[in-house]
Amino acid sequence: MVRLAIAGASVPQIAAVTGHSLKDVEAILDAHYLGRDIQLAEAAVLKLEARTRL
């Protein structure tokens, strides 16, 4: 579900794919996705990837 949101899918689109209600999709995204700073997370992953290439 979070991957769909990151890919740009709307809440109704995610609900159609997963079978969850709109309310449940919103609650799950609020708990696991919307509260995060995506740019900060991406920067951390880039650092990790760069470190593991050594």
What does the pLDDT read at residue 7?
87
Continuous H helices in the chain: 2-6, 11-18, 22-29, 38-52
pTM of the full structure: 0.61
- Among all chains, which residue has been given the structure tokens 């949101």? 5
Cα–Cα distances in Å, from 10 out to 14, 24, 31, 45? 6, 13, 16, 25
pLDDT in tens, 1-54: 888 988 889 999 999 999 999 999 999 988 887 666 777 778 888 898 988 876
